Structure 1
């Protein structure tokens, strides 16, 4: 059965399934859906908990043993498996076997990035649809973010004026986790529970999630205006640019390598996974850059990264952020 997060509470009230899959790219909503399942499972006596992360080091044999082991003292267990890539890979057979006849004393919770179309056609997923529940989490569209924010405030007993809502939406830029944290703080700071624009102006930091991963994606995608905004914010926050530069150089070099692979008729997705690029957003940005930019632009970008690196280490008269700003203009769409 497939449901959305809004339907989960009612589904849990009716019955507890032996297996749940919660998938999506919005961490806050994924976390909250998992917390609902965990709370319901604890209430039903599933108190023992084992957690696995499906990275390259995971021993799926140990997972198989745990799924098939008899629990001591008749304890009911929760087994959680995190799938950061949205794929089971080597664990497919283990999960398929577990889903043939789910154990009564085990609740299996799979926590995954968004599944691609190919994964939903596999045997394990079809088995899961029959045996359990798939909670699909989708990002909140930008035009729905204000409504989500207002609803979230009401759930805490808060009233947002239109001016406060507009200011929060602008500053939080669709970041649900930051929004939830700010509303928690505003709830503590506002005894009368009514929040206007002045309260937000005084109390809320500029909380948009400007980070190095975001600016790298923006630069590769050619979103110069937003990249410049992120760069300015990072500079004001006193961020050390060296970590950003290291990852940016890594991804520019990966883009150059992908261009060569594409000339040799390699499939971009296969090449990127083979070279350790599993995160979908990063893979899309690198492939987009490989198709959009030419080799000269990419080498010029590496030169600007080198200039920024030297500036960060005290050489030259310009700030490293100046060179990064030039880089955003160079890679503009």
Structure 2
């Protein structure tokens, strides 16, 4: 079956399905859905967890062995498989076979970016619909983002003036992960006091402090020396790069779309406004990147972003900051 993210908590209270698929391009909402399932599974006795990442190096035979392995001492396990590009690929046969008769001692959690349309026509997905639950996670519309922020603040016990709420919404530009981080920061700094525009200005918009939004702009603009300095500061401060990565990936995709639109004679400024880009600085950087970078370069940059995402989630031997420095050098490279 398919359900919405806000219906998942109630569904979990009714009992666990053998398999869940959480798909979407909003890291925060995907993570929160996954955490709800993990907690429900732990409460039901599924304590052990195995994690696989479906990249080109994954041996799906190992996954099949885990599906077929008898649990010693009746241990219950959670098996998580990350699908970074929304495709199962070589693993479709393994999933199809398992989903024909899921076992009682395994909860399977598939975590995907926005699901590839072709995958929804495959046998494994149809079996999942019959045996499990698919939760597609959709972005929050721009006109609903301020309302989402208000709900989030209320849930965390934060009291924001309308002006403070509007300032946050403008600054965060729909980035949910960054919004969550800023809410956590405000909660620590304000200690239950009402948050006005001055408080937001001091806590969130301190221009002396580097932040992920500025880094995304510097990377796309190809300003490697300044970006390298910012990466070092953010790394030392223990920032999570995933929020910044969401912004950068969004703007790289926008740059690709702009190149295509411009080749068909569409006005760059009109195109960006239509896509919700109203800040002059951001629009200027995207326009310049569209002129400076080729489609192959932009596609490769997106692949490097996927590598950073993987490293930030604990996969691979190198930290995400290492890959970020490589990306910075790549985007600064002349044609």
TM-score, normalised via structure 2 length: 0.69
Alpha-carbon distance in 1 for matches of 2:305, 2:100: 30
C-alpha displacement of 1:218:
4.0
Contact 2:17 2:133 in 1 (8 A): yes
**Structure 2 unaligned blocks of 5 or more:** 220-247, 259-267, 307-328
Per the alignment, residue 229 of structure 1 pairs with: 281
Tell me which structure has the larger Cα radius of gyration. Answer: 1
Give the whole-Å Cα distance in 2 for the aligned partners of 1:309 and 1:96.
Answer: 44
Equivalent residue for 2:59?
Answer: 59
Residue pair 1:175, 1:209 contacting (<8 A) in 2 also? no
1:83–1:112 contact (8 Å) kept in structure 2? yes
TM-score in terms of structure 1 length: 0.69
Counting only pairs closer than 5 Å after superposition, residues 151-170 of structure 1 correspond to structure 2 as: 151-170=151-170
1:254 equivalent in alignment to 2:296: yes
Cα distance in 2 for residues equivalent to 1:42 and 1:56:
30
Q: Confirm or deny: 8 A CA contact 1:71 1:105 kept in the other structure.
A: yes
Q: Distance in 2 between matches of 1:71 and 1:46?
A: 11
1:80 is paired with a residue whose SS is strand
Number of aligned positions between the proteins: 259
Q: Distance in 2 between matches of 1:118 and 1:197?
A: 47
C-alpha spacing 1:199/1:72, structure 2 compared with 1 (3 Å): same
How far off is 1:221 after superposition? 3.4
What's the counterpart of residue 201 of structure 2? 201
**Shift of the alpha carbon at 1:156?**
0.5
C-alpha separation in 1, matches of 2:193 and 2:135: 33
Distance in 2 between residues matched to 1:70 and 1:217, nearest whole Å: 45
Post-superposition shift, 1:230? Answer: 3.9
Aligned-partner Cα distance in 2 for 1:309–1:16: 50
- For residues 26 and 209 of structure 1, the distance between their equivalents in structure 2, rounded to whole angstroms, comes to 16
Write the deviation string for residues 71-91 of structure 1: whole angstroms up to 9, x where unpaired.
Answer: 112110000000011111110
Alignment correspondent of 1:220:
256
Take 2:171 and 2:104, find their aligned partners in 1: how far apart are those partners?
A: 47
**What is the distance in 1 between the residues matched to 2:285 and 2:182?**
18
Change in CA separation of 1:309 and 1:12 when aligned onto 2, cut-off 3 Å: closer
- Any idea what the Cα deviations from partners look like across 1:246-288, whole Å, max 9, x if unmatched? xx97x616279xxxxxxxxxxxxxxx8xx9977999xxxxxxx
CA drift at 1:229? 1.9
Aligned in 2, Cα 1:253/1:33: closer, same or farther, shift over 3 Å? closer
Q: Classify 1:95/1:230 alpha carbon distance in 2 versus 1 (closer, same or farther; 3 Å).
A: same
Contact 2:86–2:115 under 8 Å retained in 1: yes
Q: Which residue of 2 aligns with 1:124?
A: 124
Structure 1 contact 145–169 (Cα < 8 Å) conserved: yes
1:265 alignment counterpart: none
Q: Does the Cα contact within 8 Å between 2:159 and 2:192 map onto a contact in 1?
A: no
Partner of 1:78, secondary structure, is strand
Aligned residue for 1:182?
A: 182
1:96–1:123 Cα contact (<8 Å) kept: yes
1:173/1:208 contact within 8 Å kept: no
